[in-house]
Amino acid sequence: MTGMHGNPAFTRRRVLVGGAATVAVLSVGGFATGGRPPKPLPEPPAPAAPTTHRHSLTAAERPVHLLGPDRPASPLWTYGDAPLTAIRARRGDVLEARLENRLAEHTSVHWHGIRLPNAMDGVPYMTQPPVLPGEAFDYRFTLPDTGTFFFHPHCNTVEQVGRGLAGVLVVDGDAPQPYAADLLCLLKDWRLDQATGRFLDFQTDAGAAKAGTFGTLRSTNFAAAPVVRVPAGRDVRVRVLNLDVTRISQVGVMDAEAAVIAIDGNAVSPFPLVAWRMGPAMRLDLVVRAPAPGASARVVDYFAKEPVTLMTLVGDGAAPGTATDFDPAPLFAPALPEPDLRNAETLPFVFSSTAVDQTIETPAGGTIDLGRSLCLNTATYWAINRQTWPERGHEFPPPPLAELKLGRSYVFELANVSPHMHPIHLHGHSFKVLDSNKVERPVHWADTVLLTPKERARIAFVADNPGRWMFHCHIIEHQDTGMMGYVTVA
Ligand code: C2O
Ligand code: CU
């Protein structure tokens, strides 16, 4: 442990983070301000003249030695020769990305968390035609927000993302001053047969109907928990992304002071990190005070019997001459439209297991069997407002869960009536997480909120982006077995 000097708001956490047992008694949000008033976020500067970034994403199978250099390679699906594709740009820049499909099935790219035009949202049939094998699709849009984002396919997602098809998108311009280092910490599990390196079934009935089917091998940045050298005693930024399809991690930092500075890419007034639960798709930006020369600190997952090391930071070089208190400056405020809560319309959404008829009537008078879906699934276990995502739902979508009026403010009351956790994601908008009956969290902007069992949480946003926007659980087996729908904004 580092010394006990420093800002009282941040040192109080030192006592709490003694071990997993201590953390377990804290609220699951792991939110504690240390009794200090939140620091106001500075207004962001106007974006500089935009640059256009061109990238090619070639979805193809490529062998990667995930099990170790002497073990058989695994047939990953990736966007490039390096398994981890990372795109970097600045707020206001234009991203042009050409997807080429060299897989044997159709795919697309969804830019998770980016407030872009509906036609660029990458949902096959809903927002664009599926990109068939051998075909290409050109994405082009402006990046309106800074932060840590990612992208992934949106059909047969449990297999496509399960095989590695995903990338990171970092939009710079949120930091008033640079950090001593800026690290990615991308969490993802793999379901691999140890002997052959081949993939195991991506979905199981037992998993899909409960907490999901877990991988057999954990990884950070597509490798075993890496050891990273960082400038000793200085403040480094660590961007944690949960890109697994199933696992919920409870992220903390051991043996160093750490603060949360952004959630899902959106700045928050910095607060000490105790342990933050991250479902699939969720991101957390941290500032960590790097350890003394030669000493180490660990980013860990507390959601296990013993904390699991995700990444080790080792102090490198000479520490700064004078030690300063750990007191990270806030990032620039998110440039998001503030919902008008007094005039907002409130809509309830209930997340449950399936307890509905297995067929629904189509507007044309036919019936749709709910037991199958286009994306290769044969089972339906989950529902939103008692509605599931039907067979061939992308081609013949069910009615929307809600029809929102362009420019209006909405409060969504989310109720999880199941005994499982669900990270709930809305496309095309960032929402404000207002409150919850169970979890203490700061009011913050997000694109995904983790509903714990029996939790009711309220989110609010301005429906300012026209189109059909998917609204679903990001535990992919839940999404693919019914816990998906969409809202329209017009
Ligand atoms: Cu990251 Cu509809 O998903
Ligand atoms: Cu779920």
| 33 C-beta neighbours (distance < 10 Å), count | 15
Closest ligand to 426 CA? 1
Q: Which atom of ligand 1 is nearest to the CA of 479?
A: 2
Per domain, the residue ranges of the chain are 52-172, 345-489
Q: Which atom of ligand 1 is nearest to the CA of 470?
A: 2
| pLDDT above 60 (res 297) | yes
Owner of token pair 């664009």: 128
What residues have CB less than 8 Å from 282, skipping those under 6 apart? Answer: 242, 263, 264, 423, 446, 448, 450, 474
Owner of token pair 């809202």: 487
Interval 91-114 mean pLDDT: 98
Higher pLDDT, 10 or 149: 149
- Which residues face 271 on adjacent strands? 260
Half-sphere exposure of 294 (CA within 13 A, CB side): 0
Q: Which atom of ligand 1 is nearest to the CA of 448?
A: 1
| pLDDT above 80 (res 258) | yes
Q: Report the SS3 class of residue 225.
A: coil
Cβ of 425 less than 6 Å from ligand 1: yes
Closest ligand to 151 CA? 1
pLDDT at 4: 32
pLDDT at 387: 87
Owner of token pair 């909120």: 449
pLDDT at 376: 41
| pLDDT above 90 (res 12) | no
C-alpha triplet 213, 383, 389: angle, nearest 5°: 90
Helices (H) and strands (E) in the chain, counts: 5, 32
pLDDT at 480: 87
- Exposed e or buried b per residue across 301-337, where buried means at least 16 C-beta atoms within 10 angstroms of its C-beta: bbbeeebbbbbbbbbbeebeeeeeebbbebbbbbebe
What residues have CB less than 8 Å from 360, skipping those under 6 apart? Answer: 367, 368, 370, 387, 390, 398
Cβ of 187 less than 6 Å from ligand 1: no
CA distance 8 to 325: 9
Q: Which atom of ligand 1 is nearest to the CA of 154?
A: 2
Q: What is the CATH number of domain 52-172?
A: 2.60.40.420
Cβ of 110 less than 6 Å from ligand 1: yes
Q: How far is the CA of 211 from the centre of ligand 2 (A)?
A: 8
Cβ of 478 less than 6 Å from ligand 1: no
| Band of pLDDT at residue 28, cut at 50, 70 and 90 | very low
pLDDT at 31: 56
Q: Do domains 52-172 and 345-489 have the same CATH topology?
A: yes
Q: Are 28 and 277 within 8 A, CB to CB?
A: yes
Q: How far is the CA of 154 from the centre of ligand 1 (A)?
A: 7
| Band of pLDDT at residue 392, cut at 50, 70 and 90 | low
Q: Which atom of ligand 1 is nearest to the CA of 484?
A: 2
- Exposed e or buried b per residue across 410-443, where buried means at least 16 C-beta atoms within 10 angstroms of its C-beta: bbbebbbebebbbbbbbbbbbbbbbebeebebee
Percent residues over pLDDT 90 in the chain? 81
- E-only strand ranges, 194-307: 217-220, 227-231, 235-242, 249-254, 258-263, 266-272, 276-278, 283-289, 296-301
pLDDT at 48: 87
Q: What is the CATH number of domain 345-489?
A: 2.60.40.420
Closest-CA residue, ligand 1 atom 2, reads 470
Closest-CA residue, ligand 1 atom 3, reads 112
Cβ of 283 less than 6 Å from ligand 1: no
Q: How far is the CA of 16 from the centre of ligand 2 (A)?
A: 30
pTM: 0.91
Q: Which atom of ligand 1 is nearest to the CA of 112?
A: 1
| pLDDT above 90 (res 225) | yes
Interval 369-384 mean pLDDT: 61
| pLDDT above 70 (res 386) | yes
Q: Which atom of ligand 1 is nearest to the CA of 472?
A: 2
Backbone torsions φ then ψ of 434, nearest 5 degrees:
-85, -55
pLDDT at 397: 80
Cβ of 472 less than 6 Å from ligand 1: yes
The shares of helix, strand and coil residues in the chain, as percent rounded to the nearest 5, are 5, 40, 50
What residues have CB less than 8 Å from 322, skipping those under 6 apart? Answer: none
pLDDT at 33: 55
Dump pLDDT digits (tens) for 409-468: 999 999 999 999 999 999 999 999 999 999 999 999 999 999 999 999 999 999 999 999
pLDDT at 361: 47
Which of 89-103, 153-167, 251-265, 388-402 has the lowest average pLDDT? Answer: 388-402
Cβ of 468 less than 6 Å from ligand 1: no
Distances (CA, A) of 225 to 68, 73, 213, 390, 444: 12, 18, 21, 39, 29
Dump pLDDT digits (tens) for 75-95: 999 999 999 999 999 999 999
Owner of token pair 């379901």: 191
Closest ligand to 121 CA? 1
Cβ of 115 less than 6 Å from ligand 1: no
Closest ligand to 209 CA? 2
| Band of pLDDT at residue 347, cut at 50, 70 and 90 | very high
Owner of token pair 């998917």: 470
- Exposed e or buried b per residue across 186-218, where buried means at least 16 C-beta atoms within 10 angstroms of its C-beta: bbbbbbbeeeebebeebbeeebbbbbbbebeeb
Cβ of 262 less than 6 Å from ligand 1: no
* Of the candidates 59, 129, 49, 57, the residue with the CA atom closest to the CA atom of residue 94: 49
Closest ligand to 418 CA? 2
Closest-CA residue, ligand 1 atom 1, reads 112
Interval 109-137 mean pLDDT: 97
CA distance 310 to 147: 21
Q: For all residues of the chain together, what is the average pLDDT?
A: 89
Backbone torsions φ then ψ of 8, nearest 5 degrees:
-60, -35
What residues have CB less than 8 Å from 15, skipping those under 6 apart? Answer: none
| pLDDT above 90 (res 269) | yes
